[in-house]
Amino acid sequence: MGMSEFHVLAVDDSLIDRKLIERLFKISSCQVTSVDSGSKALEFLGLQEHNQNPNPPCVSPNAKQQVEVNLIITDYCMPGMTGYDLLKKIKESPSLKNIPVVIMSSVNVPSRISRCLEEGAEDFILKPVRLADVNKLKPHMMKTKCKSFHKPQKIVTKENQESQEIEPKTEQILQQSQGNNNNNNYKRKSMDQQGLSPERTRPRYNYNMIL
């Protein structure tokens, strides 16, 4: 499975940070859509009506396309809606709660990190984001593909295969045996109707003639 099949939604009010994230994920052959606020991220995800946001969303590439999002990476400190607020709304949505969310911040605040992780964030990354951080997030994206395409499959072992091959043969033998029994029953019934039995068909000796 190639990384080009993964789509990342990056949310950051800083243009420089958005461009950096786009470049790092594209190096890993991921598709990237970037927005500059939490509200536009929700609109892209389909959680807000367009009339609630009079300003058209600033996104790249075209946000109107219907695509699967395999990872959301968002800045913590943003005007209007913080990354923590965005995380809560995503995890409260039945259709989006399984999308991995990663929080970024330029400040290392343990209480902030704990709060995001408790709310369901997959990871907390300190800015600036590096390529090593992106590589560390790949397993989280893999989970979404596994959940989307995982279907229970019947495991065929050598024993099962032999059993499947034997069962039709066994059934065929039983049918033939039953057919032979029916033929034998039919023959016996015909002979009984004629007053004969298998024993009576054998030639009898006339002992008087011998004597």
pLDDT over 50 at 4, yes or no: yes
Tell me which of 76 and 199 has the higher pLDDT.
76
The pLDDT, as a whole number, for residue 144 is 78
The model carries a pTM of: 0.63
pLDDT at 198: 47
pLDDT of residue 201: 47
Cite the beta strand spans of 6-136 per DSSP E: 7-11, 31-35, 71-75, 101-105, 123-126
Considering the chain, what percentage of its residues have pLDDT values greater than 70?
Answer: 57
How far is 45 from 137, CA to CA, in rounded Å? Answer: 20
Please tell me the predicted confidence (pLDDT) of residue 43.
Answer: 95
Bond prior to 110 in cis (omega within 30° of 0)? no
Chain centre to alpha carbon of residue 16: 35
Express each pLDDT in 175-186 by its tens digit. 665 665 555 555
- Minimum mean pLDDT range among 106-115, 130-139, 148-157: 148-157
Backbone angles phi, psi at 103, to 5 degrees: -100, 135
Detail the DSSP E strand segments found in 22-89.
Answer: 31-35, 71-75
The answer to whether residue 137 scores a pLDDT higher than 60 is yes
Q: CB atoms < 10 A from the CB of 84, how many?
A: 19
